[in-house]
Amino acid sequence: MRRFSTPIGTSRLWPIAVVSGHRRPAPTSLPTHGEVPMPRRTLRRTIAAIGVIALALSSAPAVLAGPVDPTPRNLNPKDAVDRLAPITPGRLAVNAKAAGSWTLGTYAVSLNATTGLLRVTDSRINADVWSNVPGQSFIVGSMSQLKIYEDQGAFYPEVKRSQTLSDQTIATVASGSGTLTFSGTIAKGKSKGTTWSMTLGTKMLDDSVEALTADITTGKIGRNPLSSVLVVQALMPDEAVHGFGSQYRAYDLSGTLFPIMVREQGVGRGEEPISGVINGVEPGGAGTLANTYAAWPTWLTSGSRAGRVIGAGEFSFGTVDLRSGNSLNLEMRSPRVQLQLVAGSSPADAIKRRDAALAIPGTADWTSRGAIVGLQGGTAEVRKELQVVLDAGAKISAVWLQDWVGRRTTNFGDRLWWTWQLDRQWYPGWETLVDDLEKQGIKVLTYVNPMLVDPATKTPAPTRNLYKEAASKGYFVKTAKGQPYLQDQGQFSAALIDLTNPSARAWFVDIIATDVLGGKVAGMMADFGEGLPYDAVLAGGSGAQLHNQYPRLWAETVREACDKAGKPDCAAWMRSGTQGSAEDAPMFWAGDQMVSFAIEDGMPSALYGIQSSGASGWPLMHSDVGGYTSIAYIYDRGPELIPRWSQMEAFGVFMRTHEGNQPRFNLQVYSDDTQAKGFAYGTRIYAALGDYRRTVIAEAVDTGMPAMRHPSLVYPGTAAANQDNTFFLGDHLFVAPVMAAGQRTIDVTLPPGTWVHALTGVEYPGNTTQTVDAPLDQATAFVLKGDPVGDQIRTALKAAGVAR
């Protein structure tokens, strides 16, 4: 959850009067809902309003150590950017005596001294799994300093290089038992430089998949190991690159430069004018398209090649440079880097081969019976709001009550008391509520994150002061002076649990198992995980060493807690992530989008993040129906956002709503007939697809194939494969969500074949772009004519009364 967010774009805009630094009182009822333009006078008011809010938010420091320091610690604007100092590869010289051809399992390796080409081919399919750009170095070493600028979870790196060893030689090749080691030097021009070696081998990922492995080591400069290693892989003409975690932007990352670093994704992310406004009052707060909660070095190409850094270097800070157009340049901040590479017969096959060894837990079967509705406000309010959506015909499998710990109000909006103790004053008769919902077939879910707050000012006080317990036992991440590292959360501070400390982790596992998952609670949102400070001290190392690894530790902790609670199939979902997180977390979500249709940070960006994550090894992911971030009086949900977002997630794997950071200033699924009926329609589609969805999830768990698939994974090489705004659920259901207000038709490029509208039965010719009717009360999805599975999908939708 973000502390400060101001979406503009296609979200709704309300002017705010600012007099002597005070906001106009909230209206007793919301104005008439509708998309409205933003005139210049309104923009001025918006800037003024944001300024007031930002001043309030900045009254506490961004990172606190010990007592609260009232001095603001906003970033300097010049530091609120990524400064990555990308490396340009140099020349490659090959000793003629080193040239030759070799065999490693199913791989053929060749080195040509004349052209300077090292090539590894998968003999099964006669396809390159890896090669260098001829005559160009493919290993570059660097000595550098990495400085991180941080403010409230917004991290910005600056790389300052003192030496770059960009010229490479291959001097010798040595054959071992199932290995092949290339070695030589890396230097800058005629400087001495240092040594390097790359040992190629193979590894069986399962009974049929043999991956190529590459272990790259480098020597020292004097007594010091290199700071980083750049590995360069040649790309074929027009070969697109995908993945590297949850990238909330175009599926094809060609032409981009970005860091591999988990951090807050930002607010606006380049949409103007809001990003400029946000950065003006909170430098770096807007973020860019490069910001993400979940980043890790795993990739896929349209050329059906895939790889990952695994072992040495996998959690290091990294940089991806795809600007050249002819190579994938991957720099990891480690003197040693280990790669695992595969090639496939198609991009989908490459994913399956790359992820063959992953053990993905999957999600609870009951989640396919209906949507999970996010509600708040205490026992009576939850009962009332739930009844509204049930009366509208919604299919509900669970209620998610994130405020089970009680609510606190900040300038950002409604926040939670991170005590991880039930607030019985807020939720009187909790057990009765849970039992009553169970009788209706509705489960209860809660919320947790890896931080604790001091509840000294909370009324009523929690049964246990877990903050005090953790502090006394030394269970928090610490400052260099050994004190709990307090982090500002916007008008309150919190301390992060040191999950590298076995005792602290076991203690927190017990808290989650007995309190967060207590009684009949069936799961929870496991929030945050991306904010470990780089200058923190942990039992297992420094914040700089563990920053990218902390989300994996958090996922492991959540999995251990579910097991300890005797609920191994608990419905837990996370937003932060890194290499290996999918082996512990049963579900992910796309984090905090704006309550808008904005491409940079609204509904479309959620779909982009899901598609990118799927290419990176996260097969199960969803987003908040309706988005999350708004500002009272200024930006809130338009009347079409919930219905349209519901239609998209109805064809997903985990349909869940969020009230957002400003519930009372935003339309909710229970606000009026348009919202309740629009949401209920989506839930009936979702429930009707339950049987089909279970088969898709089973395939995802078994093979690593994403459940929500970019079209290029199902129909590669077709015109339909070039659309980022569509997706497949499995291989049999093609979805084209409407992601704009006021839109009543949608242009869809269909794959080859004849396609049947899954809801209307209208047929459309494939391999063409069709204009399809898309009224607000109708989703847009298609099945292939003659496909037996598609026929079953249509039958299920008709039986649910949502198709004709």
Question: Is the per-residue pLDDT at 72 higher than 60?
Answer: no
- What is the arithmetic mean of pLDDT over 499-511? 99
Please write the tens of the pLDDT for every residue from 78-100.
999 999 999 999 999 999 999 99
Encode pLDDT of 743-779 as tens digits.
999 999 999 999 999 999 999 999 999 999 999 999 9
* Residue 35 predicted with pLDDT over 90: no
Selecting among 423, 584, 592, 636, the annotated active-site residue is 592
| CATH number, position 301 | 2.60.40.1760
Told to judge if 600 belongs to the known catalytic residues of this protein, a careful annotator would answer no
Residue 393 located in a structural domain: no
Check residue 728 and give its pLDDT. 99
Using the 3D structure, point to which of 326, 354, 382 is the last residue of a domain: 354
Residue 340, beta-bridge partner list: 213, 308
Flag whether 171 is in a domain: yes
Judge whether 552 lies within some domain.
Answer: no
Q: Is residue 34 predicted with pLDDT exceeding 60? A: no
The answer to whether residue 701 sits within a structural domain is no
Q: Which of 151, 530, 601, 640 is catalytic?
A: 530
pLDDT of residue 61: 28
**Annotation marks residue 215 as catalytic:** no
pLDDT for residue 152 is more than 80: yes
DSSP per residue, 206-229: SSS-EEEEEEEEE-EETTEE-SEE
The residue among 51, 162, 215, 36 whose CA lies nearest residue 631 is 51
The total of structural domains in the chain comes to 2
Residues across the chain: 804
Rounded mean pLDDT of 671-680?
98
pLDDT digits 0-9 by tens, 282-307: 899 999 999 999 999 999 999 999 99
Is 42 inside a domain boundary?
no
Residue 258 identity (one-letter amino acid): F
Higher pLDDT, 24 or 639: 639
Structure confidence at residue 339 as a pLDDT band (50, 70, 90)? very high
Query: Does any domain span residue 626?
Result: no
Asked if 592 is an active-site residue, the reply is yes
Domain boundary among 310, 329, 354: 354
Detail the DSSP E strand segments found in 362-403.
371-374, 396-400
- For residue 37, pLDDT beyond 70: no
* Domain membership flag for residue 471: no
Query: What's the pLDDT at 6?
Result: 29
Structural domain range at position 763: 712-799
Averaged pLDDT, 389-407: 98
Segment 698-717 mean pLDDT: 98
Q: Of the listed 252, 321, 527, 649, which one is catalytic?
A: 527
Query: Is 282 domain-assigned?
Result: yes
pTM of the model: 0.92
Would the pLDDT of 669 be above 50?
Answer: yes
CA 434 vs. chain centroid, Å, equals 31
SS3 588: strand
- What the block records as the tokens of 540 is 């297992």
pLDDT given at position 505: 99
Q: Which of 411, 404, 440, 392 is closest to 643 using CA atoms?
A: 392
Domain end, chosen from 354, 373, 406, is at: 354
In the predicted structure, residue 21 carries a pLDDT above the cut 60: no
pLDDT of 179 higher than 70: yes
Q: Given this model, what pLDDT does residue 412 score?
A: 65
Residue 1 has pLDDT above 90, yes or no: no
Which pLDDT value is given to residue 74?
65
Q: What is the CATH number of the domain that holds 754?
A: 2.60.40.1180
What pLDDT was estimated at residue 273? 82
pLDDT tens digits, one per residue of 364-393: 999 999 999 999 999 999 999 999 999 999
Our measurement of the distance from residue 359's CA atom to the centroid of its chain's CA atoms, rounded to an integer in Å, reads 19
pLDDT of residue 151: 87
N-terminal to C-terminal alpha carbon distance within the chain: 40
What pLDDT is stored for residue 101 in this prediction? 98
- Across-strand partners of 727? 735
